[in-house]
Amino acid sequence: MRVTIHFVAWCLGIVPPETQTSEAERECLTRHASGRKRLVEIGVWHGVTTARLRAAMAADAVLFAIDPFPQGRFGFSMQRIIAKREVGRIPNGTVRWVRLAGDAAGRRFSASGEPPIDFLFIDGDHSYEGLRADWEAWSPLIAAGGVVALHDSRSSQSRSIQEAGSALFTRERIIADPRFSLIDVVDTLSLLRRIP
């Protein structure tokens, strides 16, 4: 019921779209996405960070917005409607909507022969296995010098998430991945660069 109430309030212009990222995290994402040409976001929700990435990317860039957007009890995804409208307000580059889970989208992307990407924001399934699946599908597709941002990957002063699956997998596997080096941390966000 809460989703429906929020959707109606958003349609009436009473409330903004929802996000679980902090303003500092969104500013960090914007800074690292600036001028990038091939971007992927896994976990769109209401499109708040998607819109920020679209505004920051190069004018001729493409952003793959990946989210399964499951249908709600009324037979459609309210989150998808919000996201498409919010992101559609930004007239920059191209957005390709991919209605799949992150790992399935990665396998499809790899099989399609698409060129490598230069920016990846993973904010989908925050379980250990969910992040593992997204990482295994997408990390080989990042170009040398490309950046990957991971949400809920570490604790912050305001949120203790050390035992969350996404924080555990980041600490145990991603930070130790020799293909990448840690370049920035903001709140629960960790950013790494693909080593040439």
Q: How confident is the model over 34-43, as pLDDT tens digits? A: 999 999 999 9
Tokens of 149: 């941002």
Tell me: pLDDT of 181 over 80: yes
For CA atoms 188, 133, 70, 36, the dihedral sign is: positive
Tell me: pLDDT of 1 over 80: no
- Least confident piece of the model among 9-13, 26-30, 91-95, 110-114: 9-13
Domain that holds residue 79: 19-194
Q: How many percent of the chain have pLDDT more than 70? A: 99
Predicted local confidence at residue 152, as pLDDT: 96
> pLDDT tier at 6 (50, 70, 90 boundaries)?
confident
- Is position 11 within any domain? no
- Is position 37 within any domain? yes
Tell me: pLDDT of 151 over 80: yes
Tell me: pLDDT of 55 over 70: yes
Predicted local confidence at residue 3, as pLDDT: 85
Predicted local confidence at residue 86, as pLDDT: 97
Tell me: pLDDT of 73 over 90: no
- Is position 14 within any domain? no
pLDDT: which is higher, 1 or 23: 23
Tell me: pLDDT of 72 over 90: no
- Is position 9 within any domain? no
- Is position 31 within any domain? yes
In the chain, what is the greatest distance between 2 CA atoms, to the nearest angstrom? 49
- Is position 68 within any domain? yes
C-alpha–C-alpha distance, residues 47 and 36, integer Å: 18
Tell me: pLDDT of 46 over 90: yes
- What CATH number has the domain bearing residue 148? 3.40.50.150
- Please give the average per-residue pLDDT across 8-17, as a whole number: 90
- Is position 114 within any domain? yes
- Is position 62 within any domain? yes
Distances (CA, A) of 26 to 2, 4, 31, 75: 25, 26, 9, 31
Q: Please, which residues bridge with residue 149 across strands?
A: 121, 191
- Give the predicted TM-score (pTM) of the model: 0.95
- Tell me how many domains the chain contains: 1
Q: How confident is the model over 105-144, as pLDDT tens digits? A: 999 999 999 999 999 999 999 999 999 999 999 999 999 9
Amino acid, single-letter form, for residue 175 = I
Local structure of 159: helix, strand or coil: coil
Tokens of 17: 């779209």
